[in-house]
Amino acid sequence: MLETTGNTMIHRMGIRRKTRAIRNCIHVALACGALAACGGAVEEGPVLGADVISIDSMSAFGRLDRAAVAFPHDTHWTAVAAQSQDCETCHMRMESGYLSQNFLRLASNDEETVMQTYHDNCIACHDSTAAAGRSSGPVTCGECHSVRPAWVTERTEMGFDASLHHRHGEALGDRCELCHHEYNEQTEEIYYAEGEETTCRYCHLSVPEPGDVATSLSVASHKACIGCHLDLPDAGPTECAGCHDAARQSQIQVVESPDRLDRGQPDFVLLRANNLDSSKINTVPFSHVGHEGFNNTCRVCHHQSMTRCADCHTLRGSEESQGVTLEHAMHALNTERSCLGCHEAEKSELGCVGCHSQMRHGEVSERSCTVCHAGPTPDRVVAVENRYRSLDQFRLSARESRLSFSDADIPESITIGVLSEKYEPVEFPHRQIIDRLQQHIDDSRIATHFHGGADAMCQGCHHHTPVGVLPPLCESCHGEPFDETELHEPGLLGAYHRQCLGCHQTMEIEEPQDCEGCHALRPSQTGGQ
């Protein structure tokens, strides 16, 4: 969530409470039994926690003289709450109504003040706790600033997906302005721009660049999200582990069919370069609404802004895209941010990996380009694009997608008897495997679209050969013995075992588990006649 304007937040939170007087000795000490581990034994190894924060505020003034402090936030919060105190024991409230994430200060103005704020208050708290006879935290430099801290972070990044967006929309009455805003550089104010909503990450970067007005994503999200959760009863977690503990994240209620993240985007679009005169290849029919159903956040594709891909990724690359061209953005195989990269990752699914694991990474058929680039040419797109409303208008017809031979020509089984004299010939259940693979394809929308014709399935085993009623035998390419001059072509024995066992292993098919599972021993090998 993003912060709202100051006036809106004040209205939501009611009359601001006055900032409490800051005392040198904070009464967090009253419950420091829970803080014993702060200075406890380290012999058993560091304690892992999703709430462990690295206090390195002094780095803003230059290189740290001592190691940053590992601070277990939730442990301290538990101690504060046990004494009927709240967040303002340690955090001051800003004019906007939010709590400052700084410790007992609104800003880090100078090095000496920041250092003394921590030293005076933290050490005083620990001292007074110990004086009262309760377990306390460290009081010496080396105990806090340790290169081998007693606490180590185990934080899981928190995201805001379509499910959480749906639940927040319902809870807040679809008042988008409570979270989304833009910044006016002339008036230096934030405002709500209806229809231009984006994700927080577009402005609030992980590490703000020099001169950025927007705070970091961490500061913005913690300030706004926790501020809202504190104000609204039972609204959501306020402690670190509530969001950043992996086990707690897995328990977050998921909405099975969340509302569409609607920003007026089209259901269908013809993807193309901005400069149509320079583009030579056909446009790409793209089901926008279909892809939304497979992703829980717009950032999967719109990773920099909500504009069209071609606005940043031009044919020659641009400063905004850091030189990544449109062609590379769509076709790169080493990232799931691209079309082909995402589709390549889908091939690792159990129903697909049996065939695709045997192929070269990124290998495509001769018709692969035209499966995507099936739209009108760039010189015609403006004149005809209004004729198209769905990807179905570009799918292969029943005639084009069917087998190039009769279904009756597919054999029920095949006898493989060329591997060894030690074993009986193998009866290969050809039809059963075909039916199983076809079911996997039918269950996958991406497979049914990109496989095109039914012949494509045959090429999972009969690779590099024409598809037909009588494809070439395996030994046509895979000789016996292995030809050391053709390293990319294993011998016949290796080809069969790599293809068959490779498929079984990647698809996690338990049977067979040994040689006899496929190859029955000949009587001469079992002592028979």
Q: Is residue 9 part of a domain?
A: no
143 shares its domain with 28: yes
105 shares its domain with 125: yes
377 shares its domain with 411: no
332 shares its domain with 426: no
Mean pLDDT, rounded, for 55-66: 93
At residue 61, does pLDDT exceed 50?
Answer: yes
Which of 322, 354, 383 marks a domain boundary? Answer: 383
At residue 71, does pLDDT exceed 80?
Answer: yes
pLDDT digits (tens, 9 = 90+) for 501-511: 999 999 999 88
Looking at residue 399, its pLDDT comes to 67
CB atoms within 10 A of CB 134: 17
Domain count, the chain: 4
Burial of 36-46, coded b for 16+ CB within 10 Å and e otherwise, reads ebbbeeeeeeb
pLDDT digits (tens, 9 = 90+) for 270-283: 999 988 888 888 99
Q: DSSP strand E in 164-305: where?
A: 182-184, 189-191, 268-271, 284-287
31 shares its domain with 129: yes
Mean pLDDT, rounded, for 508-519: 85
Looking at residue 486, its pLDDT comes to 79
- For residue 31, what pLDDT band results from cuts at 50, 70 and 90? very low
Q: Which residues pair with 241 in a beta bridge?
A: none
At residue 479, does pLDDT exceed 90?
Answer: no
pTM of the predicted structure, to 2 decimals: 0.75
Residue 216: which domain range? 162-250
142 shares its domain with 20: yes
- For residue 526, what pLDDT band results from cuts at 50, 70 and 90? low
121 shares its domain with 226: no
416 shares its domain with 496: yes
At residue 482, does pLDDT exceed 60?
Answer: yes
Ranking 23-27, 82-86, 403-407 by mean pLDDT, the lowest is 23-27
Q: Is residue 263 part of a domain?
A: no
Distance in angstroms (rounded) separating the CA atoms of residues 73 and 76: 5
| pLDDT over 70 percentage in the chain | 90
Return the half-sphere exposure (C-beta side, CA atoms, 13 A cut-off) of residue 297: 16
Mean pLDDT score across all residues of the chain: 85
Looking at residue 21, its pLDDT comes to 34
Query: Residue 332 maps to which CATH number?
Result: 3.90.10.10
At residue 242, does pLDDT exceed 90?
Answer: yes
490 shares its domain with 517: yes
Q: Are 34 and 126 in contact (CB under 8 A)?
A: no
CB atoms within 10 A of CB 191: 11
At residue 247, does pLDDT exceed 80?
Answer: yes
Which of 220, 250, 280 marks a domain boundary? Answer: 250
Distance in angstroms (rounded) separating the CA atoms of residues 99 and 500: 62
Distance in angstroms (rounded) separating the CA atoms of residues 172 and 167: 9
- For residue 366, what pLDDT band results from cuts at 50, 70 and 90? low
Distance in angstroms (rounded) separating the CA atoms of residues 406 and 46: 67
Secondary structure (DSSP) of 86-136: -GGGT-PBPTTSPBPSSSS-S----HHHHHHHHHHHHHHHHHHHHHTTS--
379 shares its domain with 412: no
At residue 404, does pLDDT exceed 90?
Answer: no
239 shares its domain with 304: no
Distance in angstroms (rounded) separating the CA atoms of residues 39 and 71: 11
139 shares its domain with 178: no
Looking at residue 154, its pLDDT comes to 94
